[in-house]
Amino acid sequence: MGNLRGPVPDTAPVAARLEICLWRRAADRMTTAFAILSVVLVLAPLGAIFGYLVYRGIGSVNWAFLTQTPKPPGESGGGMANAIAGSVLILAIGSLMGVPLGIGAGIYLAEFGGNRFGDMVRFVSDVLNGVPSIVIGIVAYALVVLRQKHFSALAGGVALAIMMVPTITRTTEEMLLLVPNSLREAAYALGVPRWRTTLSISLRFTAFGNQYWNWRLDQPTAALPLQIFTYAISPYDDWHRQAWAGALVLIILIVSAVAAVRFVVRRGTLGGVA
């Protein structure tokens, strides 16, 4: 084993050299095999979940499921359209509040945060990132729900925003720090002010259920995860089927969102030119 590193000495006997070669080949094979096995183990649960969701849910995903609101228990049919729309609405509210705040804080940390206050912001943001979502839910409950006296899409959006901010902040900071300093200098040397350089060069880059449609931000709003949960623990077979369908739709939405983001980002980096 000690011979794995370093060149095989020419003076070594032929048999010894052959043995070393075999050892190296075996070690190489084992490492490769281990890497492939790890990839399979990582991907398997995702594949299994997606496959099982398709198997159980695909039969119940139809036009009615996507466009109709839930029917009372016992009646068949109906769908989760309101929950799908609610999810989108809450996500929109959360993003509207969380994204600008997170990006702003990220810019501050990357461009001006090389001091003790910056370190403090980083620490607080990491702590916030580790706070369990249920705790953030309670904060949103206290901040919004108690004041409004009922659950609302707004409350869901606020909770989501609080969860988003630390992730967006640190991601933005990391992204900006990856921008080579030579590009900043190029912009400064052209007489471009610092704020403009940051923006144009460096950045190039709890709601509770509702049976019905809701577009009013101050009213209780359905969301897919909650509706799936409610349906899954219900005693009705029809609702179980719909829960599977809802889970499938949810995961398809997530996969398409991630794919869309990747597509846009890729166009942004290569494209700039388009």
Partner 1 sequence: MGVGIRVENLNAWYGKTQALHEINLDVQANHATALIGPSGCGKSTFIRCLNRMHETTPEARVEGKVKIGEHDAYDGTSATKLRRRIGMVFQKPNPFPTMSIYENVAAGLKLNGYRDKRHLDGVVEKSLMSSALWEEVKDSIHKKSGASLSGGQQQRLCIARALAVEPEVLLMDEPCSALDPISTGKIEELIFELKAQYTIVIVTHNMQQAARVAEYTGFFLLGRLIEYDKTEKIFTNPSDKRTEDYITGRFG
Please answer whether residues 228 and 250 qualify as being in contact, where contact means their C-beta atoms are separated by less than 8 angstroms: yes
Applying CB under 8 A, which of residues 25, 196, 216, 262 lies at the interface with partner 1? 196
CA gap 208, 223 in Å, rounded: 8
What is the spatial distance between Cα 206 and Cα 142, in angstroms, rounded to a whole number? 11
Residue matched to tokens 């809802």: 246
Select the residue interacting with partner 1 from 130, 132, 180, 235 (CB under 8 A). 180
Q: Does 204 bind partner 1 (CB under 8 A)?
A: yes
* Of the candidate residues 97, 145, 187, 250, the single one contacting partner 1 (CB under 8 A): 187
132 CA to centre of own chain? 16
Which residue lies nearer to partner 1 by CB, 1 or 270? Answer: 270
Q: Is 205 in the site for partner 1 (CB under 8 A)?
A: yes
Residue whose pair of structure tokens reads 């609101």 in the numeric block: 69
Beta carbon of residue 273, minimum distance to partner 1 (angstroms, whole number):
4
Measured CA angle at 264 (ends 263, 269), to 5 deg: 100
**Residue selected from 74, 190, 235, 237 as contacting partner 1 according to rule CB under 8 A:** 190
| Nearest alpha-carbon partner for 255 in 244, 245, 263 | 263
Stretch of residues binding partner 1 (CB under 8 A), selected from 15-23, 29-37, 231-239, 263-271 = 263-271
The interface region with partner 1, picked from 16-24, 88-96, 156-164, 186-194 by CB under 8 A, is 186-194
Q: Which residue, 11 or 182, has its beta carbon nearer to partner 1?
A: 182
Per-residue binding letters, 108-147, with partner 1 (x by CB under 8 A): ------x---------------------------------
54 part of the interface to partner 1, by CB under 8 A: no
Q: Residue by residue, what is the 3-state secondary structure of 57-104?
A: HHHHCCHHHHHCCECCCCCCCECCHHHHHHHHHHHHHHHHHHHHHHHH
**In contact, 126 and 170? CB cutoff 8 Å:** yes
1: contact with partner 1 by CB under 8 A: no
- Alpha carbon distance 208, 151 (integer Å): 6
State yes or no: residue 272 binds partner 1 (CB under 8 A): yes
Question: What 3-state DSSP class applies to 77?
Answer: coil
245 token code pair: 């369908």
Contact indicator for 65, 80 with CB cutoff of 8 Å: yes
Q: Half-sphere exposure of residue 204, counting CA atoms within 13 Å on the CB side?
A: 16
178 forms part of the interface with partner 1 (CB under 8 A)? no
Among 52, 188, 215, 263, binds partner 1 (CB under 8 A): 188
* 212 counts as binding partner 1 under rule CB under 8 A: no
Which range in 65-73, 98-106, 198-206, 249-257 contacts partner 1 by CB under 8 A? 198-206
Taking CB under 8 A as the rule, does residue 34 contact partner 1?
A: no
Task: By CB under 8 A, tell whether 265 contacts partner 1.
Answer: no
CA-CA distance, 203 to 197, in Å (whole number)? 9
Binding site for partner 1 (CB under 8 A): 114, 180, 182-183, 185-193, 196-197, 200-201, 204-205, 268-270, 272-273
